[in-house]
Amino acid sequence: MLNLKKQIRTLYITGLLGSLSLTGAWVVILASRGFSLVQIGFAETVFHFTSLIMEIPSGMLADMYGRKKMLVLGNLMLVIGDLIMFFSRDYWMVLLSMPFHAMSYNFASGSGEALAYDSMKMESAQEGYEKYTSNQFIIYRIGSGISTLAAGLALYLGYRKAYLISAAMGCVTLCFTLTLFEIKGSEGRKHASVFKEIISYFTESIRFLGKHTKAAAWMFLNSFVGAVDILLLFFLQSKLKTAGISNSLLGPALFVMELGGIVGARLILKAKKARYGAVFAVCTAGVLAGVLLEHTGMVALMVLGGFISAMADDAIEIRTEAKLQDMFPSEQRATLVSLSSFTFSVIMIVLSPMAGYFFSIW
């Protein structure tokens, strides 16, 4: 039987453990191994190309067979990806690890959100979903901040030890994931065959977005703003080094930028009555301001830019996700969230190599 408090608490724990990693500053780790920004940008492209292929099927499988099962599978993919990085000796092994890391996000994307929302819905408590999302974003930022704060430690230990520790933490996360209560989005629905059901879920989701064009627009705009912020924070890891920051200060600087997301996650809860259009305009301006400040070449302003960008990105993403979840039908919830992530991956595939070139010359 569902215990909502235990369910949400476990989701918080797995969220924290999933975001804690010595390899969080993976751009710095790859750069320290001698890989260029262009190579790193291409590795990011491989990551998002995999996401492009797997994102929608993973959401459909979550709706068909259960969200908990996909979360477990995502944990396993992360451990495999970390172990491949541990054994990697050249660029091709690095590229091989990217699909596994991507699939770990694919199988978690949509599944966790759908599991949380439908758990709340079973207890008629879905009005608390935006607060739950805000808390998860804060947990993610804290975990990511701690991970990037340990960037210097990862460089000191070396990439092999760092990825081995990360794999061990993935196994711990898996143990907690296994204690979650399963909620299927399509209980009682007969599955004639996997292929037919995937086609059915896909066409139903596209039909839904065709009828709800506002939801489709929100998906695209939110994904574009998020892509710009993610790329900025990724490449700031390397650009701060170029600007002259020391190894000892790099971790704290990256941590300060992550704190911006925490501020944004709290501020958006205080703007419940604000129109979505106004929130989107302000947050977009914040992300663009971050890009401009990055190009000053001054460490303090670059860190401030990352802080503002993270703050704006988390705020708009939390508001968008809450509004979309209210619109999505339960039996298609994970699939539609995956479609949103699919949109993000398409945008990242286009922007990642461009950003790698852009940040390398300017």
pLDDT digits (tens, 9 = 90+) for 242-273: 778 887 787 788 778 888 988 999 999 988 88
Q: Which residue has the higher pLDDT, 173 or 334?
A: 173
Say how far apart CA 15 and CA 229 lie, in whole Å: 21
Question: What is the predicted pLDDT for the residue at 127?
Answer: 83
Query: pLDDT above 70 covers what percent of the chain?
Result: 93
Mean pLDDT for 39-68 is 83
pLDDT band at 84 (very low <50, low <70, confident <90, very high): very high
pTM of the predicted protein model: 0.74
pLDDT band at 201 (very low <50, low <70, confident <90, very high): low
Question: What is the predicted pLDDT for the residue at 192?
Answer: 53
- pLDDT of residue 144 exceeding 70, the answer is yes
- pLDDT of residue 304 exceeding 80, the answer is yes
3-state secondary structure the chain: CCCHHHHHHHHHHHHHHHHCCCCCCHHHHHHHCCCCHHHHHHHHHHHHHHHHHHHHHHHHHHHHHCHHHHHHHHHHHHHHHHHHHHHCCCHHHHHHHHHHHHHHHHHHCCHHHHHHHHHHHHCCCHHHHHHHHHHHHHHHHHHHHHHHHCHHHHHHHCHHHHHHHHHHHHHHHHHHHCCCCCCCCCCCCCCCCHHHHHHHHHHHHHHHHHHCHHHHHHHHHHHHHHHHHHHHHHHHHHHHHHCCCCHHHHHHHHHHHHHHHHHHHHHHHHCCCCCHHHHHHHHHHHHHHHHHHHCCCCHHHHHHHHHHHHHHHHHHHHHHHHHHHHHCCHHHHHHHHHHHHHHHHHHHHHHHHHHHHHHHHC
Residue whose pair of structure tokens reads 């914040």 in the numeric block = 286
For 160, 220, 265, 279, 332, the CA distances from 148, given in Å and listed in that order, are 17, 28, 19, 29, 35
Question: What is the predicted pLDDT for the residue at 187?
Answer: 47
| Range of weakest confidence among 55-59, 77-81, 166-170, 178-182 | 55-59
- pLDDT of residue 10 exceeding 50, the answer is yes
| Range of weakest confidence among 19-23, 66-70, 142-146, 319-323 | 142-146
CB 25 within 8 A of CB 204: no
CB 307 within 8 A of CB 259: yes
pLDDT averaged over every residue in the chain: 84
- pLDDT of residue 285 exceeding 70, the answer is yes
Question: What is the predicted pLDDT for the residue at 356?
Answer: 65
Say how far apart CA 302 and CA 307 lie, in whole Å: 9
pLDDT band at 169 (very low <50, low <70, confident <90, very high): very high
